[in-house]
Amino acid sequence: MGDSTHMPAGRRRTTMTGAEATAEAMRQIHPDVVAAYPITPQTDIVMRFARFVSDGVVQTEFVPVESEHSAISAVLGASAAGARAMTATSGPGFALMHEILYVVAGYRLPVVMPVANRALSGPINIHGDHSDTMGSRDAGWIQIFSENAQEAYDNLIQAVRIAEHPSVRLPVMVTQDGFIITHGMEIVETLADEEVRQFVGTYEPERSLLDVDHPMTVGALALQNSYFELKRQLAEAMAASRRIIADVGEAFGRLSGRYYGLTESYRMEDAELAILALGSTAGTAKVVVDELRARGQKVGLVKVRVFRPFPAAHLRDLLRHVRALAVLDRSDGYAGMGGPVFAEVKAALYGLPQGPVITNYVYGLGGRDITPEMIESVYADLGELARRASKEPERVVAEAALTPHYLGVREPDGALISALGALQLNGER
């Protein structure tokens, strides 16, 4: 770690990886129970937190288990018993949790889980893309994506307060791109321990298995007479969480000076061409936006910070005046028409009287780099798309929506192609 600079008492400005920043946030949150199983690239998070436990820095009950299925099951039980419970995972480990993710959400337990995004087999790959968490996007968990190590730290602290809010009581996962953020060293500003403790507050469970004066049943069968109503309540809590997430982001901003919302718009005030992205790619895109703005181009970026609940209303407001929009997906839905974020954005903008032409780029699978040059090529494509749409709107809008492009992929001839080349290969010009 680097040297701290002058900060308010107890705060530090130092260099950390995303994994270190996350473990530090967990130390300051001081959960009652953490259960985890190591998996790359998440291992560094829990390894560092386990050291805090071993050194007596925190009095958390740390439960080493034999699989990720057991890890999420252990924190489910701990949370049902009234404990503030956390775990962490990545990629195939996250997929192994899939069944229990639904149980945690269905029981309305405010478990918080950092996730180091990682590709899913096969073939085997340990690097970062969003295939893992996108595969459980409908499990009933709030999903918050982080752009960098600072956001991984800030988002985890906010996640505790969001999850435990009486109007929410839903589990929250906080993602960071595997290796890109988990192992990349950055400057991170941390709060004082007491500030974090006061911000997250003391957990007061609605019910507890250990409350013998108020016994309850957990795990009961719910068939046709009650299952539907329980799922409807979960959906209503997810919808209500939008306001709570915004309120918590505002409160965190007053504390730290770093404000958060469901989305972040970057130089969108008069943007005609825009890219929408999640995670670390948003940071790269901001650099490109600045460079193109310096050349007089009206381009902008929308970062989706909260993927569940999906910020549909925010996007309709942000994008209604944009001429062309590219949605970047770091996973593929294999629907034959683009990635999961693209499908959500199209649905959100459906019916806008003058919405943008929308197209999709799948990129970065298995940790493949996305460069500023690639992003710049997407903006170039958008300019051409907007020009063509002004002449043949119906045809161009339909083609753009139905044809996903693969950015930075190696084609059969062995050459890496640009986004513009992908359009040509698809016969759209």
Please give the order of strands across the beta sheet that includes 405-407. 263-266, 299-304, 273-277, 324-329, 357-363, 405-407
Which one, of 374, 358, 354, 372, lies nearest residue 421 by Cα?
374
Q: What is the pLDDT of residue 295?
A: 98
Helix (H, G, I), strand (E, B) or coil at 409: coil
Which one, of 297, 301, 292, lies nearest residue 319 by Cα?
301
Rounded to 5 degrees, φ, ψ at 34 are: -130, 125
Q: What is the pTM of this model?
A: 0.94
Q: What is the pLDDT of residue 413?
A: 63
pLDDT in tens, 262-287: 999 999 999 999 999 999 999 999 99
Q: What is the pLDDT of residue 340?
A: 97
Q: What is the pLDDT of residue 411?
A: 75
Which residue stretches of the chain have pLDDT < 70?
1-6, 412-429
Q: What is the pLDDT of residue 6?
A: 66
Rg of the chain, C-alpha, whole Å: 22
Question: Is residue 400 within 8 Å of 325, Cβ to Cβ?
Answer: no
Helix (H, G, I), strand (E, B) or coil at 204: coil
Which one, of 396, 370, 372, lies nearest residue 384 by Cα?
396
Q: What is the pLDDT of residue 4?
A: 55
